[in-house]
Structure 1
Amino acid sequence: MSQLSYARYGKDNIRLYKVDKNEKTGVQTVVEQTVCTLLEGDIDVSYTKADNSVVVATDTQKQTTYILAKQNPIDPPEQFAAILGDHFVKTYPHIHVAHVKIIQHRWTRMNIDGKPHPHSFYRDSQEIRVVEAVTRENEGVTIRSKIEKLLVLKSTGSAFHGFHRDEFTRLPETWDRILSTEVEAGWKWKTFKDLAEVKKVDFNAAWEQARNITLKTFAEDDSASVQATMYKMCDLILAAVPLVEAVDYALPNKHYFEIDLSWYKGLKNTGKDATVFAPQSDPNGLIQCTVTRKPKSKL
């Protein structure tokens, strides 16, 4: 005999775009998102008995997303994700958990003749803002915010030496190297008891702080290793945003290797003379960590 151990379903890749129009100033603001909604609850019979009476159709979930986007702000995405989750859990008695993932795509306002244009935008990178929210009936809302696809590079200010060596080690030590990575950074918020509590949080300010800390630390840290630099980033974000319980990073190395050109008339292009490099695709190092707050000591 078999049994259904776990089930959820929903609508993925809901493309959503909203424009807010200030009629007085003529300034417009745009937000573009890709939304995924997944529902859990008393839905077993739809799988085991072919009984569709418990199914909130995925098309219904899509239409609900559009209607709630019309009725509510969709930025910050953390708040909109909680609005969607709250709706599904409260509207359908047999739905007990709602998972909402939102990818917010980057549109940056154009500056024309030195002035912000009121309604024109451009995409200046592939960086995305990601939110994963779970609303559980009678338990509250958990939210994780993320930065993904933020490509950064610095041409000096990074070293890597003093690492373990054995018979399998070929990597030379270096006191000056190119450091490049595609940032994936996430921060987990404390559990919110309800939607009202979520609406009190300035998620956009926290996102700006996390992003600025990431860039500033990357640029200014005299990096002994990716590990050491990413720990500093986590520590600073925890200090800056008290409602965040944990911060994590995943930083893949984007390698740039020196090219020995001495074969051509003794041309120097290694060590301190290196100015021409070959960007590498793979294999690459991948460094990850999660940093949490220390438990409060009991007196």
Structure 2
Amino acid sequence: MMERAMYYGKGDVFAYKTYVKPLLGVRKIPESNFSGRNNIVFGLNAKVSVGGKDFLPSFTKGDNSLIVATDSMKNFIQRHLASYQGSTIEGFLSYTAKAFLEKYPQMETVKIIGEDLPFETVSASSSAGLTESDLVFKRSLNEASKSMIEMVRTEGGTMIANHSSSIIKLQLIKVRGNSFVGFVRDEYTTLPEDSNRPLFVYLNISWKYENVIDSYGENPSLYVASEQVRDIAAFVFHETETPSIQNLIYLIGCRILERFPQLIEVMFESQNHTWDTVVDHSPDTLSKVYTEPRPPYGFQVFSVLREDLDKDKADENSLKSTPQGS
């Protein structure tokens, strides 16, 4: 028998809290200067969906006796932010999902997605000169973190069915040192090969922990911050002679797994938005003029697994142990 899709919920639940517990004590890595979040402004846009067989009559018979209004879900999320004592979106989503299942027995599954609404510091004056204001912040329209948790009811209580942490809307341009050659050429090919092109990529990067509790930030040394993942992506992009976006995201994924052994998978959704050349000056100068590319864009979806990193290390050790000239 085919399994039925059946859930409902509320989207665009905006919630802000000031002076959330700071995130301190994250493990430092070579690719990033990130050391923590002050969490003076903590904001998110949440989307919750709930499911369970007891909701079927509301669809088939119009019986709303077990329906929790989506407006109530909005209030539930916002008010639980007030009582949340942690320091991460992942921890808040888990806290709230469990509270939903404890409050409403007709709910069998709860899935909550939370997108960070980041605010950045601005400058302020002090006796020592310019410093960062602890009162005024500006809304950031740059990349943001995004998290998801899906919790289900069990006979013994609740369990995590799925989870992920992400950074979304990351856009990186590398102006040279990128190539794209050797691809299939046939009667449909109009793209020229390019041994030194600019490369403009859009990246959504997600990661999963071996132990989901590590994502809550209760032990900050095991928490992977989206800011660190962002910095690793930029660092690897800078140091790599990039033959393709496919290879770039693989190398980024391997570096993330190398830095954070508590992760088991890194997932990518990437897009190629490399600019079209308008004016190409003489070979004696690096200066060129570009414009936005035509609307069709290429994209890639790929997961880098812990076993990929282990295999690469094994291959590298095998090459080192092979006698010269063999």
TM above 0.5, yes or no, is yes
Paired residue type of 2:136:
S
Greater CA drift, 203-212 or 13-22: 203-212
Which whole-Å CA distance do the structure 2 matches of 1:200 and 1:74 have between them? 7
SS at match of 1:17: strand
2:276 to 257, 270, 273: 257
Task: Please say if 1:288 is aligned against 2:307.
Answer: no
Larger RCO: 1 or 2 (CA < 8 Å, sep 6+): 2
1:169 to 177, 189, 196: 189
> Given the superposition, is the C-alpha separation of residues 197 and 156 from structure 1 closer, same or farther in structure 2, using an over 3 Å criterion?
closer
Give the CA deviation at 1:201.
Answer: 4.9
Aligned counterpart, 1:146:
166
* Residues 30-79 of structure 1: CA deviation (Å, up to 9, x unaligned): 02211111111121122223221211221221111121111114741111
TM-score (norm 2): 0.78
Contact 2:216 2:223 in 1 (8 A): no
Paired residue type of 1:17:
Y
Give the CA deviation at 1:123.
Answer: 3.1
Superposition pairs for residues 78-157 of structure 1, below 5 Å? Answer: 78-112=90-124, 113-138=129-154, 140-141=159-160, 142-157=162-177
Contact 1:101 1:132 in 2 (8 A): yes
% identity of equivalent residues: 24
> Given the superposition, is the C-alpha separation of residues 136 and 151 from structure 1 closer, same or farther in structure 2, using an over 3 Å criterion?
same
Task: Please say if 1:215 is aligned against 2:231.
Answer: no
Which whole-Å CA distance do the structure 2 matches of 1:271 and 1:166 have between them? 33
Paired residue type of 2:110:
A
Q: Which has the higher strand share?
A: 2
> Given the superposition, is the C-alpha separation of residues 241 and 73 from structure 1 closer, same or farther in structure 2, using an over 3 Å criterion?
same
Which whole-Å CA distance do the structure 1 matches of 2:39 and 2:269 have between them? 35
Task: Please say if 1:275 is aligned against 2:249.
Answer: no
* Residues 92-111 of structure 1: CA deviation (Å, up to 9, x unaligned): 22211101011111211113
* Residues 140-170 of structure 1: CA deviation (Å, up to 9, x unaligned): 2231111111121121121111222223222
Superposition pairs for residues 58-77 of structure 1, below 5 Å? Answer: 58-73=70-85, 75-77=87-89
CA RMSD of aligned residues (A): 2.9
Aligned counterpart, 1:6:
5
SS at match of 2:307: coil
**Runs (5+) with no aligned partner, structure 2:** 22-37, 312-326
